[in-house]
């Protein structure tokens, strides 16, 4: 698999460019040794709630989903925090740290002129805030949020929305994501998709659908570009 000049790359944000567990040290100051568990629950419920709302047709902005998932994770941990602490966590979530391989990857892709966009369940302002805070925004051609589609990935409507927003055809789009559900959703929509297997022990969903390519790191991605 090689990317051609007409390929449009769609980078998932949370879990691919940005580390959703970057607040574990902050959580440790609130819930102590339960921090990693709370972070895991927070992320899992964030995804679960987005799936459920997509199925129910009960869309709310991703920031609301994120806040509700945090409330659940803290409740499970038996953590009683103040409104100020909750607000601070959600504010910090808008400036999460990027993975160490993200900046060089995006810079290399921009240098050879292949179109690339952030593509996220996140709210538009939050996506831009995240990427600007981590010095990634300038290496992208823009960002596409699912918000106008009023649903969440992997709803096929979200991938169609990306194509309309970027003036692309599905056959020319390639998702780059660490999330198997997103990879399968993109392939189902007629895209190519690269799975970033950050954890070598991670198992891809056994649906009979395989990623177009599997890479261990974003640093391997620029090598797939055919000039």
Residues annotated as catalytic (active site), given as ranges: 12
Q: Enter the DSSP assignment of 174.
A: E
How far apart are alpha carbons 125 and 19 in whole angstroms?
A: 18
- Helix, strand and coil content of the chain, in percent to the nearest 5, comes to 50, 15, 35
Residues 75, 112: Cα–Cα separation, whole Å: 48
> What does the alpha-carbon distance between residue 158 and residue 175 come to, in Å, rounded to a whole number?
12
- Which two three-digit tokens encode residue 56? 């129910």
Q: How far apart are CA 130 and CA 176, in angstroms?
A: 18
Cα–Cα distance measured from residue 8 to residue 164, given in angstroms and rounded to the nearest whole number: 12
Between the two ends of the chain, the Cα-to-Cα distance in Å is 13
* Dist CA 155 CA 149 (whole Å): 9
Angle between the 24-31 and 35-56 helix axes, to the nearest 10 degrees? 110
C-alpha distance from residue 67 to each of 42, 82, 114, 173, 216 (Å):
9, 14, 35, 31, 31
């Amino acid at each position: 698999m090689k990317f051609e000049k007409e390929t449009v790359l769609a980078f998932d944000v949370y879990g691919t460019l940005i580390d959703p567990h970057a607040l574990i040290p902050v959580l440790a100051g609130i819930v102590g040794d339960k921090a990693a568990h709370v972070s895991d629950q927070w992320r899992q419920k964030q995804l679960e709630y987005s799936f459920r709302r997509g199925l129910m047709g009960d869309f709310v902005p991703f920031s609301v989903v994120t806040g509700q998932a945090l409330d659940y994770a803290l409740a499970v941990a038996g953590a009683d925090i103040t409104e100020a602490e909750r607000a601070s966590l959600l504010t910090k979530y808008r400036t999460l740290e990027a993975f160490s391989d993200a900046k060089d990857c995006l810079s290399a892709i921009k240098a050879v002129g292949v179109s690339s966009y952030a593509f996220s369940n996140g709210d538009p302002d939050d996506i831009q805030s995240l990427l600007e805070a981590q010095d990634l925004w300038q290496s992208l051609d823009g960002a596409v949020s699912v918000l106008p589609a009023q649903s969440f990935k992997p709803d096929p409507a979200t991938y169609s929305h990306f194509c309309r927003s970027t003036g692309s055809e599905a056959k020319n789009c390639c998702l780059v994501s660490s999330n198997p559900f997103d990879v399968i959703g993109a392939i189902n929509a007629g895209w190519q998709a690269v799975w970033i297997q950050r954890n070598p022990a991670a198992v891809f969903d056994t649906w009979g659908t395989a990623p177009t390519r599997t890479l261990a790191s974003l640093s391997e991605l620029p090598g797939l570009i055919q000039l």
